[in-house]
Amino acid sequence: LSEAPSISGSRGPRRPTINDVAALSGVSKATVSNVIRGTGSVSERTRERVQQAIATLGYRPNAAARTLVRRRTNVIGLIVGDFANAFNAELVERVEQEASSREYTTLVCTTGKHPEFEAARLETLLEQRVDGIALLQFSGDRTLMSKLLTERVPVVGVSCWDDYIDCVAVDDYAGIALAVDHLVALGHRRIGYLTDELIESTTRLVRLDACERVLGMHGLELPRELVLGGDDPTRPGPGRSPVEGLFSRADAPTAIVATNDNVAIALIDELESLGLSVPDDVSVVGFDGSAVAGLARVGLTTVAQPAQELASDGLDLLLQRIDGGPDEAIRQRRLEPALIERRSTAPPKIPTK
């Protein structure tokens, strides 16, 4: 009749607290705390009694209470885009494993295909008072970045670049150069570029720019009409797709450099559904080195990013920033990419003059 009120979320008897342990073992909660954390000096006898009490009670420290007094969560937040891009998922998994091995818990926030969720997700991480944030995806929104900066929360870009924060990313220029040089060496002269509106914005621009510059060094150009994807509003529209439009032209490119494996693979699908053969009619190079590119049936030539190193270096940077504070100099690292040649690239069928 006069039961405890059924507070939503309260389940039966309340969980044991440090006070319960203290009472059962006949010591103060300060001592229990010392035993749990292995700090201070506790006699062997006391320690055993306390541990006994912990075991019989099934006591487990409450992270929120600890966080409150320690002003530190031991949680790091991750902002990541779309898992449809397999490389994102792979990177998240590695970062999580790295964090976990360093006694950190990870709060993963995906923005999916909605970069506009980014602000809300960041807000969540800030409310949770994460000790640091790893950006695997960043829209490039300056307002957001300056908010992060004024919050003085440790932030690292992992496979994601911003001038004002610690970063580790693949050397985009070198990666694109690997792709372009490979195609040029095969004899391609008319090379297009495929971007992805979902890719992190700085990277998108850097890679596109790199492509143009590297082509320039070979005496080649990247005319506007050979750039596909990105902010092209005609893409999902009616009528011919941009890909179909481009490849029905007389001066269609013989090769495409794609900004990531995800769109590269989608492009191959579309080209082949149009009756074009890869690599006979068109060569395609991806970027990421995701597992799916390596399937024999896919066989995508791609520029591989060192995923494990990105994850562990990224975490190093973040943890050092957490310990060092915001006034240490910004540290940025570029990692070396590697070309993986598979069967999506070949010499052009009809050599251009």
Partner DNA sequence: TTGAAAGCGCTAACAC
Partner DNA sequence: GTGTTAGCGCTTTCAA
Least distance (Å) from a copy of itself to the CB of residue 212?
30
Does 295 sit near a copy of itself (CB under 8 A)? yes
User: Contacts with a copy of itself in 326-345 (CB under 8 A)?
Assistant: 326
Look at phi and psi of residue 334 and say left if phi exceeds 0, alpha if psi is from -120 to 50, else beta: beta
Residue 101 CB neighbours (<10 A): 10
Residue 65 or 217: the one with the smaller Cβ distance to DNA is 65
The SS3 of residue 107 is: strand
| CB 179 within 8 Å of CB 303 | yes
29 contact, one of DNA, a copy of itself, none, CB 5-8 Å limit per kind: DNA
Out of 19, 26, 56, 93, the residue judged to bind a copy of itself by CB under 8 A: 93
Residue 259 or 290: the one with the smaller Cβ distance to a copy of itself is 290
User: Contacts with a copy of itself in 35-74 (CB under 8 A)?
Assistant: 58, 60-65, 67-68, 71-73
Quick one: how far is CA 351 from the chain centroid?
39
Out of 153, 165, 176, 210, the residue judged to bind a copy of itself by CB under 8 A: 153
55 contact, one of a copy of itself, DNA, none, CB 5-8 Å limit per kind: none
* Whole-number Å distance between alpha carbons of 186 and 15: 68
Out of 47, 83, 218, 276, the residue judged to bind a copy of itself by CB under 8 A: 83
Residues at the contact surface with DNA, assessed by CB under 7 A:
14-15, 17-19, 26-31, 33-34, 36-37, 39-43, 45-46, 59, 61-62, 65-66, 68-71
Beta bridge partners of 76: 106, 132
Written in H, E and C, the secondary structure of 231-280 is: CCCCCCCCCCCHHHHHHCCCCCCCEEEECCHHHHHHHHHHHHHCCCCCCC
Q: What is the DSSP string of 299-333?
A: --EEEE--HHHHHHHHHHHHHHHHHH-TTSPP-EE
| CB 176 within 8 Å of CB 214 | yes
Enumerate binding residues for a copy of itself (CB under 8 A): 6-12, 58, 60-65, 67-68, 71-73, 82-84, 86, 89-90, 92-93, 96-97, 100, 105-110, 112, 117, 121, 123-124, 126-129, 131, 150-154, 265, 268-269, 272-273, 291-292, 295-298, 322-323, 325-326
